[in-house]
Amino acid sequence: LDRFYVGVTHETPDQRLLKHNRHAYGMHRFTSSANDWEIFVVMEVDNYPHAVRLERKIKAMKSKTFIQNLKKYPELRQKIITQTSI
């Protein structure tokens, strides 16, 4: 699909990925359009509310390049984690 899925989870990223690839969340979801999703980058934070803020910030950027740069530049990952830690 040449697209990224951005999401938060209480599970491990591997467990969440497996569910998406098996369409455990239903066929009406964004992720149901493929069954070969791969983990691109994982960003860990201390709590779920912080993870949600981080997810919203990344989604608000609406940029594939921004997501690619999160993997490429660790300092960018740290910067956005700090910005969303409030």
- Summarised one tens digit per residue, pLDDT across range 9-35 is 999 999 999 999 999 999 888 899 999
Q: Please say if the pLDDT value at position 79 is more than 90.
A: yes
* Alpha-carbon torsion (82, 19, 59, 52), positive or negative: negative
* Count of other CB atoms within 10 angstroms of residue 4: 16
Condensed to tens digits (0 to 9), the pLDDT of residues 41-50 reads: 999 999 999 9
Residue with the two structure tokens 């530049």: 73
Please tell me the distance from the alpha carbon of residue 47 to that of residue 4, in angstroms, as a whole number: 23
Please tell me the distance from the alpha carbon of residue 52 to that of residue 2, in angstroms, as a whole number: 24
Condensed to tens digits (0 to 9), the pLDDT of residues 53-76 reads: 999 999 999 999 999 999 999 999
Q: Per-residue confidence at 1, pLDDT binned at 50, 70, 90?
A: confident
The pTM for the full model equals 0.89
